[in-house]
Amino acid sequence: MGARNGKQFLQRLDSTPREIWYGDKKVTGSVSEHPAFRGVARSIAALYDLQMKPELREAMTYKSPTTGDPVGLSFLQPRTREDLAKRTWMMKTWADYSGGIMGRTADYLNSSIMAMAAAKDFFGNEGRDYSSSIVRYYEYVRENDLLLTHTLINPQTNRGVGPSKQADPFIAARVVEKKSDGVVIRGARMLATLPMADEIMVFPSTVIRSGQDDVPYSIAFALPVSAKGLKFICRESFASDSAYDHPLASRFDEQDAVVVFDDVLVPWDRVFILEDPEKANRVSEATGAVVFMAHQATVREAAKAEFVAGLATLVAETIGADQFPQVQEKISDLLLTAETMKAFLSASEANAAVNGWGLMTPDYIPINSARNLWPKVAPTLAIVLKQIGASGLMAIPPEEILGSPARPEVDKYYQAKLADAEERIRLFKLAWDVAGSSFGGRQDLYERFFFGDPVRMASAYYAWYNKEPFKERVKELLHRKD
């Protein structure tokens, strides 16, 4: 089949049965028409349409090595710097569609599975041929242009002890039984963004301690979301039908769900790591998946910083606040953030090198630095919008006011230097959806945590970064004789 268009995505979404719980109800019927999902489903469809546009298709797809059909470019295993540049261009085009607001466009996990397939030998074939399974899975996802979600984290029950020491050893998802046709999994994982995906990857993230009790939790596998016993329990939706009132929430609420495995059978060809803490702890770094995921994330973060800088500038200009030096300084901070993320990207691509698995890989020093800096600077995006928008962010009456008898007052008192009332309210609602609405709050949390706990990431960065040359320079100066 190869690269999909939006209609094909929606058709598969609606024809794939899945157990999604929303409040006290199981979602039945068409997922793409459910109020919690329809806005984002349309946005995802629009992204797939984008890659099939005649003027973009050449740059957004490449020829499948197995069928010759066009397939999505984020599946491309880069061998040259030009390949990397093509990937970046494609990812930026998708990211710009939502102003970098959608975190889980398909290219995020496509990048991961692409890298893991190149590193197939990491998975090995002791006992079972896990290396062939990961390659077949990558090819299956690529050739059908499937949308993946993933879940890495055990439920937040008691972080003080490992999964086997929780009140119940089956809270965190784990192996229950190995059968001739696959492995049975019971327990839960938290969290999976995008329950309207086609497939779910269940991979390790937090370090598994080496004790024997934690071995059953050391697993990596993938399943169709229709797998029997697989359940998604959603949070409250922030979606809305009014694009005027909620310009982002109405389009981009990707939804987050806790995933329950009620004795789910994972067929052997979908198992990639089994009861192997050493492999589980290393998979992300050793395969290069983390670099390619972080590369995609940096592209999106640059897009988001640019978008919010543009939004803050428009807000300031609209109300004539752009002339004040402190407002200019705040917007400059956003521009600096955008430029910093782009500089990390450029450096990572300029110093790219072929990794141990043959992929032209962005330099991990700038990419890992971007990954660690982003959770610290991302909250500033919302802070600056609040500082500049001030009370204007609360002068955002619901859309219905525009058709009400109060319209003349609205037209008079909500107008701004550079916009009539309707346009000014529209703009400030967008700013609020980034900075303060429920949707905006979720965005803030997402940027802080989506790539892991920033505290532990910072510790890992500290341990990983080669500080020796810097220390040597200091020591040399301390003991300089002249």
In the complex with ligand FAD, which residue's Cβ is closer, 64 or 437? 437
Cα separation, 131 vs 170, whole angstroms: 28
Hey, which residues between 312 and 331 contact ligand FAD (CB under 6 A)? none
**Total chain residues near ligand FAD (CB under 6 A):** 20
Residue given tokens 């200019």 in the structure block: 328
Q: How far is the CB of 156 from ligand FAD (least distance, A)?
A: 4
Q: Which of residues 176-215 bind ligand FAD (CB under 6 A)?
A: 191-193
Closest CA to 13 of 231, 195, 186: 195
C-alpha dist (Å) from residue 406 to 396, 402, 410, 413, 453: 14, 8, 6, 11, 48
User: How many of the other CB atoms lie within 10 Å of CB of 162?
Assistant: 18
Q: What backbone phi and psi angles, to 5 degrees, belong to 18?
A: -155, 155
Nearer residue to ligand FAD within complex by CB, 156 or 180: 156
In the bound complex, what is the minimum distance in angstroms from residue 154's beta carbon to ligand FAD? 8
- Which of 356, 346, 378 minimizes the C-alpha distance to 286? 356
Q: Is 35 helix (H, G, I), strand (E, B) or coil?
A: coil
Q: Which is nearer to ligand FAD, 62 or 374 (CB)?
A: 374
Shortest gap between Cβ of 257 and ligand FAD (angstroms)?
Answer: 9
Which member of 455, 463, 477, 478 binds ligand FAD (CB under 6 A)? Answer: 455
Distance CA 120, CA 135 (A): 7
Antiparallel, parallel or unpaired: β 148-151 and 70-72 = unpaired
Q: Which is nearer to ligand FAD, 84 or 220 (CB)?
A: 220
Binding mask 375-414 for ligand FAD (x = CB under 6 A): ----------------------------------------
- Tokens for 113? 């599975």
For 104-161, give the DSSP string: --THHHHHHHHHHHHTHHHH--SSS-HHHHHHHHHHHHHHHT--EEEE----SS-TTS
Binding mask 251-290 for ligand FAD (x = CB under 6 A): -----x----------------------------------
Q: If binding is defined by CB under 6 A, does position 336 make contact with ligand FAD?
A: no
Chosen residue from 21, 140, 170, 446 binding ligand FAD by CB under 6 A: 446
Tokens 């301690």 label which residue? Answer: 209
Nearer to ligand FAD, 161 or 383 (CB): 161
Q: How far is the CB of 126 from ligand FAD (least distance, A)?
A: 27
By beta-carbon proximity to ligand FAD, the closer residue of 152 and 233 is 152
Per-position b or e across 84-117, b if 16+ CB within 10 A of its CB: bebbbebbbbbbbbbbbbbbbbbbbbbbbbbbbb
Q: Is 453 an interacting residue with respect to ligand FAD (CB under 6 A)?
A: yes
Among 456, 467, 473, 475, binds ligand FAD (CB under 6 A): 456
Among residues 72, 198, 442, 444, the one that binds ligand FAD under rule CB under 6 A: 442
Is residue 463 a contact residue for ligand FAD (CB under 6 A)?
no
Largest CA distance in the chain: 84
Taking the least distance from each CB to ligand FAD, the nearer of 151 and 318 is 151
Instruction: Give all strands (DSSP E) within 143-275, no chain letters.
Output: 148-151, 174-179, 182-193, 199-202, 219-224, 230-234, 256-267, 271-274
Residues 104-163 that bind ligand FAD (CB under 6 A): 149-153, 156, 159
Helices (H), 53-80: 57-60
Q: How far is the CB of 159 from ligand FAD (least distance, A)?
A: 4
Number of H helices, E strands in the chain: 17, 14
From the CB of 42, what's the least distance to ligand FAD, in Å? 20
Residues 35-64 within binding reach of ligand FAD (CB under 6 A): none
3-class secondary structure, 392: helix
Compute the distance between CA of residue 217 and CA of residue 171 in angstroms, rounded to an integer: 11
Residues 442/238, Cβ–Cβ less than 8 Å: yes
- Interacting residues toward ligand FAD by CB under 6 A: 149-153, 156, 159, 191-193, 256, 442, 445-446, 449-450, 452-453, 455-456
